Structure 1
Amino acid sequence: MKNYMEDVVLEVLEEVLQVNPDFCRCPKCKQDVVLIALSKIKGRYASSPVGEIFARVEQSDRQVRTDALLAVMQALEQVAAYPRHDGPTKLTEK
């Protein structure tokens, strides 16, 4: 069984990070963003080859990607405001 929204969130996060160089890219911050974003959107699970095909087709749906983008942007703000690592982060000032 796989949640295909995880793939969408990871893709969207990488796209957002390309245009937002100020966000911390440490593994802990990126993982926190993914986990927070996934908790805010509906999962899309598949456990069979047919279900996998439908899930992959749905990944390209504009609304699915928009929902993922919104969740990632909110998660980025939350993680930037309260990072769980010890080093400095850049995106805390507005």
Structure 2
Amino acid sequence: MTGIVLQNMVEEHVVDAYSSLAGHFPNFCGCDTCRADVLVFALNRLPARYVATTEGKAVTEFNLDKDQMRATIDVTMMDGFKKVASAPRCGKTKPQLL
């Protein structure tokens, strides 16, 4: 696979969702460990959408921008925030999330 770069488009959307949703969880730790745990939680539960070409990226991006997929990503991310906050691996005390 020389020269071919594979990219999971869902990963970009999950990272963006983390940034937009983190403010809704002000008591969430947000350290690198907890952030990574939320991202991994979501990515392991969402279907991957890999692309290898610009054309594939455009089509996949269009499909990921649909309201239903964005809602699915957001709900999965919120579940991740709650799950990680309930047992943070970083050692911080469990916060009360709203």
Residue type of the partner of 2:68? Q
Q: CA deviation at 1:30?
A: 0.6
TM-score normalised to the size of structure 1? 0.88
Tell me the residue number matched to 1:67.
72
Q: CA deviation at 1:58?
A: 2.0
Please, which runs of 5 or more residues in structure 1 have no aligned partner? none
TM-score normalised to the size of structure 2? 0.85
Please, which runs of 5 or more residues in structure 2 have no aligned partner? 1-5
Alignment root-mean-square deviation, CA: 1.6
Deviation by residue 1:46-67 (Cα, 9 ceiling, x = unmatched): 0112111112222311111111
Q: CA deviation at 1:69?
A: 0.7
Aligned length: 93
Residue type of the partner of 2:10? M
CA contact (8 A) 2:17 2:77 kept: yes
- Give, in whole Å, the separation in 2 of the partners of 1:26 and 1:89: 13
Tell me the residue number matched to 1:86.
91
Structure showing greater radius of gyration is 2
Tell me the residue number matched to 1:36.
41
Deviation by residue 1:7-63 (Cα, 9 ceiling, x = unmatched): 111111111112221111101101100001011111111011211111222231111
Residue type of the partner of 2:61? R
